[in-house]
Each structure stands twice: as structure tokens, then as C-alpha cells.
Amino acid sequence: MIKLENITKKYTSKGKQIIGVDDVTLTVEAGEVFGIVGYSGAGKSTLLRCINLLEKPTSGKVFVDGVNLHKLSPKDLRKARQSIGMIFQGFHLVSSKTVYENVAFALRAAGADKKQIKQRVDELLALVGLEDRKHQYPAQLSGGQKQRVSIARALANQPKILLCDEATSALDPGTTKSILALLKKINKELGLTIVVITHEMEVVKEICSRCAVMQDGKVVEHGPTYDIFSDPANPLTLSFIQTVLSFDLPEELLGEINGKLVRLQFKGNIAADAVVSDMLQAFPIRGNILHGKVEYIQSKPLGIFVMELNGNEAEVNKAIAYLRDKVSKVEVFDDGSRNRHLA
Amino acid sequence: MMDRVIAILPELNQAFLETLLMVSIALAVAILIGLPFGILLFVTDRGLFLENVVVKRIAGLIINLIRSVPFVILLVFLLPFTQFLLNTTIGPLAASVSLSVAAIPFYARIVESSARDIDKGVIEAAIAVGASPWMIIRSIILPEVKPGLITGLTITAISLIGYSAMAGTIGGGGIGDLAIRYGYYRYDNTIMFTTVIVLIVLVQLVQYLGDLVARVVSKR
């Protein structure tokens, strides 16, 4: 659906050359929700804006639906952009136009007539749940409502792709959830391919089937979201994962621990408590669960437990070997590493 | 004292209308030519959708050329042009030629700077939706800049009222001309004060109306 080939974007700012995006090659499949994560300045926004050529890459090729966008005339590029919707962190609504007129503008840009526009705008406002705000101005709306208007505008010309540039970063957590639910719904019902860029791992966890992690203009890791969460390969990815799956044990508690500290990770539908209780029955040791959490990533559970194992050292080691056999990932923290993050 | 003012009323009335005529013509020209010029300066700027260094430089140069000539000199300088255009250099119509020439770059710069205040993201969103440059100008930039256009028109109008007094000195007519003839040549302070009061009232009125309209059209 979207194919980015060796995209590089360089800028010159105050005489210095800055590399925004550094030789990125990515493919986004039709119908998927793809996330691009990174801290600010990682180049994710620039990369996203290359997809509809709002930003012209210094080198590299952009293919959307098999069409090389660079080869298009200005007129054909405008036509192509109509099939790529885009929403922004700052909403970017026209303050002098009502909700209706803001959405209608996109349709007029595509050359729709008055009757078509009226029907389509009503349809779109119903889809985003803003029928009753039709004649209000953006200044009269809340952040979440503004983003809904901009989603309606982005979807006006029945695009196949929706680009989301930090679309939820300016919203509170509750509103973020409702906007994400709306994006999920459009992805499912309209079969839209969605590319999301964000610095919030929560967003990725919630809606993205695959994601890429960016740093200094490069993609450092990419793959299915579940795999990224369960087996991050890059330290940066790990630090992003920790924002969602972090386990900080209080200092006081760590001081009182005299057994071995283990962190267990369960993938999928393995019954975590059954494995743990079997282990405790099979070996003469005591176990103490200090922390536990099951995260649903793309509706697939990922369980993480932190336990203290007490008893004869040989038995404890046997128990750990048993766990390694049953559980997808077991980490043992010796005394030295006990005080660091247990992620 | 009052009777002198009353005696001058018909003349004052005519001068007032002449000023109004001069300023209105110049304002109309400012809107017709200065406004598109200002938009041109904005959209050809760096990073905008019609970025064009050559056009931007030439347009900027023309505007700076006119603006660097003091108005009194511009008045004299444009006399041959006015003569060619209207076959006369006397009267409010003739004065409105130089006023218009001064108003165009003045208003163009105001339009350009208020357009710069538009959130670039809004323009970007319009590009992303596949709108043509003309549509972006007509349906995004112009409505977004409307309050600024009106405030700018108010500023231009008030400056032009001031300029029109200078135009009066070389036979343009209007309130300025009246003040000079009675107040300066005949030492008639009463008439001079009266004209000043008329001007103050006129400027206040223009400012008040401008602010009012700008507030009404602003949806921010």
C-alpha cells in the first residue's frame, strides 16, 4: 500500500546541515494500522509528511498504491492527496469556517457539487458523532471535538490511507481513548490503512498491529507490535516499552528481599498462576509475588510477574530452570542488579 | 465666533465630502490592487505553496521603492502622471491619484504581515486535502485573514486622512486645504480648530467602525 524506499531528508538550518530522515525503507500493508514511535526530533513526523509529499524527500522514492508520487504532475499529485487523509496534533481547522464548512472544503477541493457535499458532510459528521455541532466554529469546540472534525475532513474524499501526526498528543487520556476507538472503528469498518506517529507507547499498544521505532532519523527496530513489546531488541525500544510495562518496586521492599528475584513474562494465553503454583508444589521453596500485570496488546495478553523465591539455593535454581522451560522469558536479578529497573 | 463657523459651514461641508471622496477612492484602489499584491507577497514567500524568490523580490522592491518616497514628494513627482491620466492636477480626483499610489504598498504590507499570522498548519492541512493554490487563497487565506484585512483597512484609512491634508496643499481640496487656507494664510484660528475637531471626529469614527467590524467577523 505504502512503500518508502531509501527516504532521506536533509535540511539546512542556520548554515548547518541536519539530517531529518536517514535512509528509511518501510512498507505499510493495506488495511493495517502502522505505528511509528520515537522521541521528538527522531524524524518520525518528517517521514510521515513524506508519504503525501508535504515534505519532499532529498532522495528516495514514495510509492502509494503502486504509484510513484514524485512522477506526478502538480494536478495529479493533488488528486493523489485526496486519497490520503491526514490529521494533525494541532487539528489545523480553519477558524473562520464552521464545522460544516471545514469538512465541505475538502469536498470542494475534490470538485464535488453542492448536493453531494451536503449529503457527504452529514454522513461524515454522523460517523464522528458531531451532527449537533454542524454550525459551530472551531473555537467553540473541545480538543476532542476538533480532532473529530479534522478526522471527518480527512475522510471526506473516501481516502484509502489516513496519516495521523501525533493526533492524540494534545488530548487528555480519556479523549485520547475515544479518538483511538474512533480510529480503530474506521480502520475496521472502512478498511482504511492508518499510519500513526506518536511518542506514546499506549497509542501503539492500543491500535497498531505493527510498528517501527525511530531514533536520529533511522528506523532502529520494526515488527508486529506484540513482538516489539514482548521481545524488544533495541535499548530505545525497551525504554519505550517501559513507559507501559514498567515495574518499579519501592526501595524499602527491595531492601527486605533476601531470596532471588525473578521476572517472568507470559505470552498469549498461558495460565500464569497455574505455572507458578505448579512450580511451588514441585519444589520445596517459598514464592512471593511482588508485582504482576497483564497487558493486552492488540487484544493479546502479555503477562509479567515479579517474584521473590526463597529457600535452598539448589532448589531455587531448579525451580528457575523449570520456569525457563514453561515461560516465554525468565530473568533473574542477582543482588547487584536488584536495585535497577525491573522492566 | 459661532457665526463665523456657521458662515463657513457650506464650505466645510464641501471640504468634508472632498476628503471623503479622496480617501474612499484611494481605499478602493488599495483593496483592488494592494490586497492582491499583499497576498502575492505572502504566498511567494519561502516555504509557502507558491514559493518564488524572483517574484517575491521584484514585488518587494516595487513596494519599497514607493514607500521610501515621502508623501509630499510623491505628490509632486506624480503630477505629470496625474495630468496624463485626468488631464488636470487640481481637485479631489487628481489628489486621489497620488493617494492611491501611496495606499497600494501601504496596504499590501499590512495584508502580507497579517497573512503571516495565519497558522501555517491550516494551510498545510488544505494542501494535504488536495486543494489547488487558488482555492487555498480564496477559501483559506482570505477568510482567515479577514479581521486583519479590516484592521489594516482602518489603519490605511486613517493614514490616508492625514495624507489627504497634504494633498490639499497642492490644490487637492478637502479639509486639509480648508485648514491651510483659513488657518495658515488668514490666521483664522476658529476655522482651523473647527477643521481639527472635524478631523478628530472623523478619525475616531473610522477607528470605532473598523474595530467593530473586525470584532464581528473574527471567529477565533
State the pLDDT confidence band at A335, using cuts at 50, 70 and 90.
low
For residue A139, tell me if it sits in a domain.
Answer: yes
pLDDT range class, residue A334, cuts 50, 70, 90? low
Spell out which residues of chain A touch residue B218, defining contact as CB-CB under 8 Å: 96
Q: Can you tell me whether residue A290 is helix, strand or coil?
A: strand
In chain A, residues with a C-beta closer than 8 Å to the C-beta of B126 are 94, 105, 109
At residue A299 the predicted structure's pLDDT band, cuts being 50, 70 and 90, is confident
Q: Considering the domain boundaries, does residue A6 fall inside one?
A: yes
Last residue of a domain, one of A205, A221, A243: A243
Q: CA angle B76-B79-B85, nearest 5°?
A: 155
A79–B126: do the CB atoms touch at under 8 Å? Answer: no
- Report yes or no on A291 lying in a domain: yes
DSSP symbols for B53-82: HHHHHHHHHHHHHHHTS-HHHHHHHTHHHH
Alpha helices in chain B (DSSP H): 2-29, 35-43, 53-67, 71-77, 79-86, 92-116, 120-128, 133-135, 142-167, 174-178, 189-217
Cell of A22: 536517514
Spans of all domains in chain B: 2-217
Q: What is the CATH number of the domain that holds A118?
A: 3.40.50.300
Signed CA dihedral, A243, A247, A249, A254: sign only: negative
Nearest CA distance, B22 vs chain A (angstrom): 32
When scoring A92, A157, A163 by the number of chain B Cβ atoms within 10 A, the one with the most, hence best to mutate, is A92
C-alpha to C-alpha distance for A230 and A242, rounded to whole angstroms: 11
The verdict on A162 and A223 lying in the same domain is: yes
Higher pLDDT pick, A304 / B107? B107
- Quick one: cell of A188? 475496521
How far is it, in rounded angstroms, from Cα B2 to Cα B21? Answer: 27
Instruction: Answer with the one of A222, A243, A264 that is the final residue of a domain.
Output: A243
> Is B219 within 8 Å of A96 when comparing Cβ atoms?
yes
Q: Which residues pair with A21 in a beta bridge?
A: A9
Total beta-carbon pairs less than 8 A apart between chain A and chain B: 80
Q: Among A196, A221, A243, where does a domain finish? A: A243
The verdict on A19 and A111 lying in the same domain is yes
Coil, strand or helix at A3:
strand
Query: What pLDDT does residue A343 have?
Result: 44
Residue A203 CA to residue A68 CA, distance in Å, equals 30
With bands split at pLDDT 50, 70 and 90, how would you rate the model's confidence at A23?
very high
> Does B219 lie at the interface with A, CB-CB under 8 angstroms?
yes
**d(CA B126, nearest CA chain A) in Å:** 8
Question: Does residue A342 surpass a pLDDT of 60?
Answer: no
Residue A182 and residue A84 in one domain:
yes
In chain A, which residues have their Cβ closer than 8 Å to the Cβ of B140? 94, 105
For B132-185, how does the pLDDT look when each residue is reduced to its tens digit (9 = 90+)?
A: 999 999 999 999 999 999 999 999 999 999 999 888 888 888 988 888 888 888
Same-domain pairing of A196 and A229: yes
Cell numbers 493523489 correspond to A80
Coil, strand or helix at A246: coil
Q: Which of B119, B129, B220 sits opposite A81 (nearest CB)?
A: B129
CA nearest neighbour of A267 among A236, A228, A240: A228
- Residue in B with minimal Cα distance to A136: B219
Q: What pLDDT does residue A297 have?
A: 87
Same domain? A72 vs A144: yes
State how far the Cα of B171 lies from the Cα of A105, in Å rounded to an integer: 51
State the pLDDT at residue A13: 81
Residues A82 and A213 in one domain: yes
Kindly state whether residues A119 and A262 are assigned to the same domain: no
Give the chain B residue whose CA is nearest to the CA of A51.
Answer: B128
Do A92 and B119 make contact, defined as CB atoms within 8 angstroms?
Answer: yes
**CB-based contact, B216 to chain A, within 8 Å:** no
The domain in which residue A265 lies consists of 246-333
Task: For chain A, give the percent of residues with pLDDT over 70.
Answer: 96
- The 10 Å CB-count burial string (b at 16+, else e) for B96-124 is bbbbbbbbbbbbbbbbbebbeebeebbbb
**Average confidence (pLDDT) over A276-291:** 87
Rounded to two decimals, the ipTM of the complex is 0.85
Q: Which residues of A touch B144 (CB under 8 A)?
A: 94-96
Q: Do A157 and B129 touch (CB under 8 A)?
A: yes
A160, pLDDT greater than 60: yes
List Cβ neighbours of B143 (8 Å cut-off, separation of 6 or more).
Answer: A94, A96, A97
- Say yes or no: A154 and A24 in one domain: yes
A341, part of any domain: no
The Cα–Cα gap between B85 and B71 comes to 19
d(Cα A277, Cα A288) in Å, to the nearest integer? 11
Average pLDDT of every residue of chain B: 92
Asked if residue A340 is part of any domain, the answer here is no
Arithmetic mean of pLDDT over chain A: 90
What CATH number should be reported for the domain holding residue A271?
A: 3.30.70.260
Q: What is the structure's pLDDT at A336?
A: 46
In a domain? residue A163: yes
Looking at the fold, whether A103 and A222 belong to one and the same domain comes out as: yes
Tens of pLDDT, residues A34-61: 999 999 889 999 999 999 999 999 999 9
Strand partners, A11: A18
Q: How far is CA A121 from CA A116, B94, B128, B131, B138, in A?
A: 8, 52, 18, 17, 21
CB contact under 8 A, B131 and A96: no
- pLDDT (tens digit, 9 = 90+) per residue, A59-105? 999 999 999 999 999 999 999 999 999 999 999 999 999 999 999 99
Matching CATH number, B2-217, of 3.40.50.150, 1.10.3720.10, 3.40.50.300, 1.25.10.10? 1.10.3720.10
Asked if B220 has any chain A CB less than 8 Å from its own CB, the reply is: yes
Same domain, A175 and A55: yes
Do residues A197 and A113 share a domain?
yes
Q: Is residue A343 part of a domain?
A: no
Count of domains in chain A?
2
